Amino acid sequence: MPSTWVRYTDPQTGFVLAHPPAWTVVADGSRTDVRDPVSGTYLRVDHREPPGPSAIGAWQDQEKSFKAQYAGYRRLQLAATTFDGFPGALWEFTYPAGSLLHAADLGFITGRYGFALYFQTTDSNWQRLQPLFESFKQSFKAPKG
């Protein structure tokens, strides 16, 4: 994670995330958006308390409604994974919304909370911005307990 990044602590859950200094942070209920004001690229952290039984099950359910909403939706992957030792799932996809957007939704269950780290940018910027997404993931610290 770059040393110039700014630390953010969520007042509801206590999760910690770092972000580039020029990016804006907007918290709204269970969602916290960290957005690049220039490109529109963003990371959304969402939480659920209590968590559901399975991150992969949640993404499979959500995919059904998302696919119905976006005719050009294309799944790239939806697979079980772990994040920082927590069980989870990674759902990666593209969909048209003005331009072709590319997103990854990393869901995981920490015990008390279910979290999602949702990263979205244009498909044309996806590969170039993967180090940014990796830095976001490295900076994320789940709350204790």
SS3 content of the chain, % helix, strand, coil (to 5): 20, 45, 35
Stated pTM of the model: 0.96
Residues of the chain with pLDDT under 70: 145
1 found inside a domain: no
CA 2 to chain centroid, in Å, comes to 19
Range of the structural domain that residue 24 is part of: 6-139
pLDDT at 38: 95
129 found inside a domain: yes
CA distance 109 to 91: 15
CATH number at residue 54: 3.40.1000.10
14 found inside a domain: yes
Residue 79 tokens, joined: 């697979």
144 found inside a domain: no
Split into its structural domains, the chain has a count of: 1
145 found inside a domain: no
Q: Which residues pair with 97 in a beta bridge?
A: 99
pLDDT at 144: 79
29 found inside a domain: yes
45 found inside a domain: yes
51 found inside a domain: yes
Kindly give, in sequence order, each residue whose CB lies less than 8 Å from that of residue 104, ignoring residues fewer than 6 positions away.
90, 91, 92, 118, 119, 133
